[in-house]
């Protein structure tokens, strides 16, 4: 009871707060006593992440300059990578396809003096001659552009876009040969034949036209000498 002047006021007790029922404590995995966040390992939103390989495709290209039993890898393939998180996948890198050249050219045989040469192309080419003179070889001297080795009979200079360096050949009127050299004046269907001869004999050779057989491998009687 409280007196305010002549008025007596009676105050009844009131509820100033209400009871709160707390939920039962839940159990969470923890590391060192600290609860794990949902997206961390062990949390309810965490999923293991793995990388997986994406296979590449192989593209075959027919090559009429290769024998029909030859297969060459022109461009190797490369696997792609995908990141897997739970049911979700995300590509990190795309696979790169491989390109394989499949030969389609029939292999022919040429027999000269009891020796058989297997070839897949025949070219009619303009042939000239050169020797080891400084005038015909420049400052580098008589060495092959392909491997830097001294030139011998059987070594010839070519346009690599027509006949790749290292290719074995059989040349009418010259015999077995190998493309190992180049020259500023040698381009297109022009081939320069190396001889261990004098400048006079080289001049006598002049310009001739011969069949050039592009061989499928090293001829059995080939030896640069």
Question: Does the structure show a pLDDT above 80 at 215?
Answer: yes
* pLDDT tens digit sequence for 153-206: 999 999 999 999 999 999 999 999 999 999 888 999 999 999 999 999 999 999
Three-state SS string across 5-57, please? CCEEECCCCCCCCCCCCCCCCCCCCEECCEECCCCCCCCCCCCCEEEEEECCC
Q: 0.75 cut: is pTM over it?
A: no
* pLDDT tens digit sequence for 7-31: 444 445 444 444 545 444 444 444 4
* pLDDT tens digit sequence for 66-104: 777 778 888 899 999 998 877 788 898 999 999 998 988
* pLDDT tens digit sequence for 94-151: 999 999 989 887 878 889 989 999 998 899 999 999 998 888 887 777 888 888 899 9
Domains of the chain by start residue, with CATH: 47-104 (2.20.230.10), 108-215 (2.40.40.10)
Structure tokens at 185: 């004046």
> Is the CB of residue 180 less than 8 Å from the CB of residue 146?
yes
Residue 94 DSSP label: -
Structure tokens at 184: 């500023």
């Amino acid at each position: 009871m409280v007196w305010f002047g002549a008025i007596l006021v009676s105050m009844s007790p009131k509820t100033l707060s209400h009871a709160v029922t707390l939920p039962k404590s839940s159990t969470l995995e923890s590391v060192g006593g600290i609860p794990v966040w949902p997206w961390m390992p062990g949390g309810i939103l965490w999923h293991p992440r793995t990388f997986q390989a994406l296979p590449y495709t192989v593209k075959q290209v027919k090559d009429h300059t290769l024998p029909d039993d030859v297969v060459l890898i022109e461009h190797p393939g490369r696997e792609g990578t995908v990141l897997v998180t739970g049911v979700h996948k995300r590509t990190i890198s795309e696979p790169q396809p491989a390109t394989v050249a499949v030969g389609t050219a029939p292999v022919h045989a040429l027999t000269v003096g009891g020796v058989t040469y297997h070839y897949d192309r025949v070219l009619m080419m303009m042939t000239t001659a050169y020797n080891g003179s400084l005038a015909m070889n420049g400052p580098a001297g008589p060495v092959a552009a392909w491997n830097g080795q001294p030139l011998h009979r059987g070594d010839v200079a070519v346009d690599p876009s027509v006949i790749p360096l290292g290719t074995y050949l059989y040349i009418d009127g010259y015999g077995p040969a190998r493309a190992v050299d180049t020259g500023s004046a040698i381009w297109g269907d022009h081939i320069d034949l190396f001889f261990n001869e004098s400048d006079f004999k080289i001049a006598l050779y002049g310009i001739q036209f011969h069949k050039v057989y592009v061989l499928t491998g090293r001829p059995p009687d080939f030896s640069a000498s």
